[in-house]
Amino acid sequence: MTLPSARVPGRPLVMGVVNVTPDSFSDGGAWFTPEAALAHGRELVAQGADLLDVGGESTRPGAERPSTEEELRRVLPVVEALSELAPVSVDTMRASVAAAALDAGATLVNDVSGGLADPEMVPLVAARGVPVVAMHWRGHSTVMQDRARYDDVVADVCRELTARVEAFVAAGVPADDVVLDPGLGFAKLAHHNWELLRRLDEVSALGHRLVVGSSRKKFLGLVGRTAETERAPLDRDVATAATTLYAAQHGVWCVRVHDVVGTVDALDVADALAGRGPGEPS
């Protein structure tokens, strides 16, 4: 399978988030039922999403894991239906869920653990010949923030991501099929996230496509605020759009977002400023 292409050449793909969970930090289970998730996915495609990321496990700090059976129940009907509309990635750390989702029509595995949570994930991706997003990860949601300790967060993240690339490649996954995600908010404090964004070119220098997922995360809620007055997740879309533009300017392959309309608008503005887009002279 090949990686999806952006609707608009020369700018990052927009990955729309479809959380089929009751406890997402961002949307609080608004799309938990299959019917709601399907309607939301259709809306995101109509708004300009290039692909959809369907996940059935919340990875907010402190979240408890659902059973494998429950995760499958949540994601499979949604993946099957939405894969007829757009490319679908399955957001899972379980190889069995990834395998079932691929059978249901998904074309990309998005593993926030980078293959560390389930020893069967790396061989599965290799055997199925699918691309994978390997995120920087140091532990499950219940413990990850205890592990936000770095000598140099960018150097440490790059080293640990390189180890994940080596594991996938050793199993037979083509290097070009391994997409990297620096894991903003996962075992990271606010200053770690900002440092990773400031030095994004160093992560890009690893030579792999990058996904950046800053959308609605806590560190954006703190911009210009104190911890007592931080913005709620649904009030972080403007800050998300700003980081999206920054990531686009640094050549990332994909941005993972909840607010597709705001993201597309921001990218359209960047194109207009650069003399690209409808109505511009060719």
Distance CA 137, CA 66 (A): 19
Report residue 89 as tokens: 């990635």
CA distances for 225 relative to 187, 188, 274, angstroms: 22, 19, 32
Instruction: Give me the catalytic one of 11, 164, 216, 217.
Output: 217
Burial of 138 (0-12, 13-18, 19+ CB in 10 A): buried
Instruction: Give me the catalytic one of 188, 218, 231, 256.
Output: 256
Query: Is 217 one of the annotated active-site residues of the chain?
Result: yes
- Taking residue 10's Cβ as centre, other Cβ atoms within 10 Å add up to 9
Report residue 96 as tokens: 């069995």
DSSP3 helix / strand / coil % (the chain, rounded to 5):
45, 10, 45
Query: Is 256 one of the annotated active-site residues of the chain?
Result: yes
Report residue 84 as tokens: 């007829």
Which among 159, 260, 154 is positioned nearest to 199, based on CA atoms? 154
User: Which residues have CB under 8 Å from 18's CB, separation 6+?
Assistant: 31, 37, 40, 41, 44, 52, 53, 54, 55, 78, 82
In the beta sheet, which residues pair with residue 147?
A: none
In the beta sheet, which residues pair with residue 106?
A: none
- Taking residue 15's Cβ as centre, other Cβ atoms within 10 Å add up to 30
Q: Which residues are catalytic?
A: 217, 256
